[in-house]
Structure 1
Amino acid sequence: MVFPSRRKQGSVRRVSQAARKDGIAVAGYDRLRAWRGSRKARQAALFIWTGAAALGLIAFGMGCRGRSDGGQPLRRTAVLVTIDTWRRDATGFLGDVAPSPTPFIDELASKGRVFSDAVAPVPLTAPSHLSMLTCRWPWQFGLRNNGDVPALGNSPTLAAILKEHGWRTAAFVSASVLDHRFGFGEGFEHYDDLFADARGIGVQAIPERTGDVTVEAALEWARRFTKPGERLFIWLHLFDPHFPYHSHGRPAPDARSAYEAEVRFADGQVKRFYEGLEQLGRDPKEAVWMILADHGEGLGDHGEQTHGFLLHGATTRIPMLIVGTGGHGRSDTLASTVDVTPTLLSALGIAPPQCDGRNLLAPAPDGGRGIPMETVYGARSFGLSEVVGLRTKSWLWEASPADHLWNLAEDPAETTDVAARYSEVVAELRSLREEFALPSKSSQEPIDAELQARLRSLGYLGTAGTATASGSGDARTFVREDEPRFARIMKAEAEGNLDLAEREVRSFLDRYPSAAEVWLEAGFIAVQRGRLYLAEVRFSRAGQLVPGDPRPWLNLGNVRFQARRFADAESAYRRALSNDPQEPLALFNLALVLEQQAKRAEAASTWRRFLALHPSRPEAARARARLARLAGRDS
């Protein structure tokens, strides 16, 4: 049986000796957060409030303005580099860091066009990347949080459009939140998302591979399967600056230093990839490179250490540049991740589709622009309120759920909340943001009577503090007061102090009874303490809170498997697979539990399905061996 940690933020987990006897492979991944962060280094046009008409605000509904035109220089290579969790000020070309952590990208920026005021609509990895690849706001496809599977339908993607125009297309990603099963492989001839390990522990660790491994995979594929004369589009995703930070041998007295060491490492991998493609015969003069972040990192700004809870500039303002288009210099037009597809296509002489983004190489249209923003991470994971906002050139508004407003023209560092002073601006921005809103739906199911009784018998469902099951908790209060408490739970668990972790998690759940992510973490603590009954209750509660998330059901199945309640385990695994039919660990464990029940034909079918979907996963060799053994028995 394969014991994962969590579905959205991965990590390899310890398992008990009893579990090992059942054949549990130590592997796992989590796909919950696309995390938190970037600092504030703001530039804003001077804005004078004279009423709603002077908001300078928004000419919404403008489609992509780029069009195909002739006479463009030959382009044989197009590269999209996305660096996860990269703060705007962790650069030399935009920030004030000395020495610069990005010397190579600084050099590229000096030859290209830098967009100094670029914004991510969601400070999470998956939604932000989908907006790049589709030039649509990600919530239009139902992707609001890491792990959501978008309903793309017939919507064109950047890779699909390039493929239709004769380009080879390949992607090499570094974190499991961009797994092809979540729709990111659409249009790519080759999509490399193999992750052999997960570094770090706890909820804030996502299975990843370091940038050097990803770059090597990309260069090896290009070396073996492409020719220099072919038109080639490659998307390279680097995850290194994401928490947890590793200093790569450099002195790192604090989190900021370790974080910048990760950015410096990523910069080195971009250089290695650039030079590697050149060595393969791809002339940089015939290439277009677009480099940007998906979101930033808090590092303590606004009280947020990572990202995903709030919409302040540290986590939503991002570096963005394009090289190889003939233009250079700095553009201070308000840009966003939805502009990636129309800008790259226009640079390659291909007319982009109508969409929410625009071609940043064309003159900016008259009128202002607004970037709608949201994050549901805190709501999904901790029972907080959903957070929405709107960014214009001069204003940043956030409802979390209380209104917050910053006048970026006068306060680019977002130090003074002026929502009370400018209530008319708040009202106008709220009205404009509602044009992008989705109907609110609760993802919680009512607690059934049996589970309610079991929770009460174990000391749960007592008093609720400031946050309630209705999801009304204030995100800023949580970040300031309770995110550090959650970090203490993770630290105690990592250090093996399970008694302290147990006390802390109970206290946390008393205050936040709808914190699905904490119920899940509490389940893992119970497993490590050998309290399988308690773990079952906790995973069940997590499943009640987020019924569409496969993780609680997968882990509920694992607990029942360890208890040798095979029929119940089968039911839980099937529930996980109803939420995600390609979930590898649920498939693997389902096949095992079917074998335990002597359902050999079903087990063999499940092994074949696992191998068809996941032939390169670490568990594949074991799956082949078990399938061969079943075939031998039947013969």
Structure 2
Amino acid sequence: MAESVDSSDSSDVDAVSANGRDPESHSTVRNVVLVVLDTARATSTGPATTPNLHRLAADGTRFDNAFATAPWTLPSHASMFTGTYPSEHGTHGGHTYLDDGLRTLTESFADSGYETIGVSNNTWITEEFGFDRGFDDLRKGWQYIQSDADMGAVVRGEDFREKLQATRNRIFDGNPAVNAANILYSEVFQPAGDDGADRSTTWIRNWLADRDGDDPFFLFCNFIEPHVEYDPPKAYAEEFLPEGASYEEATAVRQDPRAYDCEDYRLTDREFAMLRGLYRAELAYVDDQLARLRSALEDAGEWEDTLFVVCGDHGEHIGEHGFFGHQYNLYDTLIDVPLVCHGGPFTDGGRRTDFVQLLDLPATLLETAGVDDPELRDQWSSRSFHPDSIDDARDAVFAEYVAPQPSIERLEDRFGEIPDRVREYDRRLRAVRTTEYKYVRADDGTERLHRVDTDPLERDDLSEQEPDQVRAMRRRLEAQFDPLEDAGASGEVEMREGTKERLADLGYL
């Protein structure tokens, strides 16, 4: 990072100034807001689906080549929070907890005098998995009243009898009055077509209006609407469904990615087209919530002094390559994500085509805020993409898939016999991508090579035709990481039952 402090002076962020911010640092901002559009793939965003994000990019800076380090929520967020690759932070399907020994971006801001607020609408990003460290308040967006008890079993009941039974089983798990209020909200009062974005934005608006004190703030928000199940408001869906498809027909299509993978059911081309329409409608809906969030910052008088960052954490397959959901592979459909920055040096910054990774966010956000953290800097693989950064630009990006989620054993428990093609996905993957080539290697020795400049959909495997290029790309991977067979950790952290059920709703279990 530019203008950093010598780490030998102090291990504390306070070494920079009284509150950890460098008043002489270039292009600093007061506040930092990081918004994650869960499951947003780059190819599905743009003027038609996300006009507010498009306008934000026109006023700020759009990154055309931004890539996640992993194809699903938990390891991708761990990279964003720590500036490390999955094999470095060890958080994946086989080890679902963020290591206590890792420094997080939020801790850095907190130790620098920032008020730190998080709103998560994805159940992986909670205190249970280690993501609360550094937050003054990390709210669970799926709960009307914040509580450790999860009434998700009531939400999933297929009929009145099941809902009643689930209520009987869970009402005394914690505070019965709070549980009853959460059940009433989910069953009676929760707006249709919203998975927490509207209430999250409203809560943030109220927090901004009511907060006292002059401390700068770091605000993190995850909007989960583009995630399965796609259930946008009808008015949004009707704008994107294929010709002749009704809202009722589209929403009746089964959405169960793991069952689809295991050939428990099939989807026609028309059904996938309807699902893609629903997905795009979800993006449009959450894009309007993004505009509301910007308006809240403007009304609070904070917009002009805020670095506002919007990204996807990973993408989605909706029939591409024969997949539904975001597991098992590292196609660009899953790791190419939108990234827009506004504020400070990123205002009127235009479009950038250089490679950036989501793990570059810690270095970039801290540099833009004028905060230096030697402990976090010593840990990360992050490179700042601040326009004035002295960090080297990337000429390649990397991604990893360490372990399936859910595991093959859990798929067998659910479906019995599973297809051989699914069993083959019980492997680790690594990918390296340059402007010309994409190379993917598995720990079982299989490998793929794509010429992405002429084959952006990664349809043609050239590994046999171009052995010299395969060897060159393999050396790039080996130079970046330890041997593939040594990657990752094991020992899955036991989840609470309510969390398991909520994750099942999202298609993970």
* Closer/same/farther in 2, CA of residues 427 and 152 from structure 1, 3 Å limit: farther
Partner Cα separation in structure 2 for residue 222 and residue 173 of structure 1: 17
Indicate conservation of the 8 Å contact 1:113/1:330, yes or no. Answer: yes
Q: Which residue is equivalent to 1:297?
A: 316
- Confirm whether residue 213 of structure 1 aligns to residue 227 of structure 2: no
Residue equivalent to 2:367: 346
> 1:76 maps to which residue?
30
1:385-422 CA-to-partner distances (Å, cap 9, x unmatched) read 22222223322112355211111222223232211112
- Structure 1 Cα separation of the partners of residues 282 and 325 of structure 2: 14
Percentage identity across aligned positions? 22
Taking the aligned partners of 1:194 and 1:261, their CA distance within structure 2 comes to: 21
Q: CA deviation at 1:142?
A: 1.9
- Cα distance change, pair 366–232 in 1 and its aligned pair in 2 (3 A): closer
The question of 1:188 aligning with 2:188 is answered no
Answer yes or no: is 1:391 the counterpart of 2:433.
yes
Which whole-Å deviations, capped at 9, do the CAs of 1:102-159 have from their partners, x for residues lacking one?
Answer: 1111111111111110111110101101111111113323202287112231x32111
SS, match of residue 176 in structure 1: coil
Offset of residue 363 of structure 1:
6.0
Q: Does 1:368 align with 2:368?
A: no
1:201–1:100 distance in 2 versus 1, CA, 3 Å:
farther
Superposition pairs for residues 221-240 of structure 1, below 5 Å? 221-224=207-210, 226-227=211-212, 229-240=214-225
- AA partner of residue 139 (structure 1): S
In structure 2, the CA distance between the partners of 1:187 and 1:83, relative to structure 1 (3 Å rule), is same
Alpha-carbon distance in structure 2 between the residues aligned to 1:83 and 1:424 = 39
CA root-mean-square deviation: 3.1
Provide the secondary structure at the position in 2 that maps to 1:177: coil
Retained in 2: the 8 A contact 1:65–1:358? no
Compared with structure 1, are the counterparts of its residues 194 and 146 closer, same or farther at alpha carbon in structure 2 (3 Å cutoff)?
A: farther
Contact residue 143 and residue 150 of structure 1 kept, 8 A: yes
Q: Does 1:359 align with 2:384?
A: yes
- Structure 1 distance, partners of 2:2, 2:399, is 20
2:181 corresponds to: none
Secondary structure, counterpart of 2:354 in structure 1: strand
> 1:190-248 CA deviation, whole Å, 9 max, x = no partner?
1112534656799xxxx994211222233333444x23743111001101000111131
Instruction: Give 1:443 deviation, angstroms.
Output: 11
Is 1:161 matched up with 2:111? no
TM-score (norm 2): 0.68
SS of the residue aligned with 2:106? helix
Counterpart amino acid of residue 210 in structure 1:
G
Q: Which residue is equivalent to 1:277?
A: 297
Contact 1:146 1:177 in 2 (8 A): no
SS in 2 for 1:377: coil
Q: Is the 8 A contact 2:360 2:383 kept in 1?
A: yes
Q: Contact conserved, 2:3 with 2:25, CA < 8 A, in 1?
A: no
Determine the structure 1 residue equivalent to 2:351: 330
- Alpha-carbon separation, structure 2, partners of 1:80 and 1:236: 6
* Contact 2:432/2:439, CA 8 A, preserved across alignment: yes
- Alignment correspondent of 1:306: 325
Pair 1:147–1:81, CA change in 2 (3 A):
farther
Q: 1:201 to 1:140 in 2, by over 3 A?
A: farther
CA shift in 2, pair 1:345/1:324, >3 Å: same
Q: Equivalent residue for 1:135? A: 83
1:436 aligns with 2:481: yes
The residue that corresponds to 1:112 in the other structure is: 60
CA contact (8 A) 1:113 1:321 kept: yes
Query: Which one of 308, 316, 337 corresponds to residue 318 of structure 1?
Result: 337
Q: Which moved more, 1:144-153 or 1:132-141?
A: 144-153
Which of 139, 147, 152 is the aligned partner of 2:100? Answer: 152
Larger relative contact order, structure 1 or 2 (CA cutoff 8 Å, min sep 6): 2
Deviation sequence 1:347-394 (CA, Å, 0-9, x none): 111235242011111366267334242242168335422222222332
- Change in CA separation of 1:273 and 1:441 when aligned onto 2, cut-off 3 Å: same
In 2, Cα distance between equivalents of 1:425 and 1:156: 37
Residue 329 to residue 222, structure 1, CA distance change in 2 (3 Å): same
In the other structure, the counterpart of 1:44 is none
Q: Which structure is larger by alpha-carbon Rg, 1 or 2?
A: 1
Give per-residue Cα distances to partners, 1:430-462, cap 9 Å, x unaligned: 233234246748999xxxxxxxxxxxxxxxxxx
Give a deviation string over 1:571-611, Cα, whole Å, max 9, x none.
xxxxxxxx43x73659xxxxxxxxxxxxxxxxxxxxxxxxx
Whether the 8 Å contact between 2:91 and 2:98 is mirrored in structure 1 is yes
SS at match of 1:81: strand
Indicate how the Cα distance of structure 1 residues 157 and 106 shifts in structure 2: closer, same or farther if over 3 A, else same.
same
Q: Is the 8 A contact 1:175 1:209 kept in 2?
A: no
Match of 2:9 in 1: none
Change (3 A) 1:390 1:216: same
Indicate the SS of the match to 1:233: strand
Aligned length: 379
Any conservation in 2 of the 1:378–1:385 contact (CA below 8 Å)? Answer: no
The amino acid across from 2:360 in the alignment is: D
Consecutive unaligned residues of structure 2, counting only runs of 5 or more, are: 5-21, 144-150, 159-185, 187-193, 246-273, 412-422, 500-509
Q: Deviations over 1:506-556 (max 9, x none)?
A: xxxxxxxxxxxxxxxxxxxxxxxxxxxxxxxxxxxxxxxx9x55xxxxxxx
Unpaired runs of at least 5, structure 1: 1-63, 93-98, 445-545, 550-578, 587-635
Aligned partner of residue 215 in structure 1, secondary structure: helix
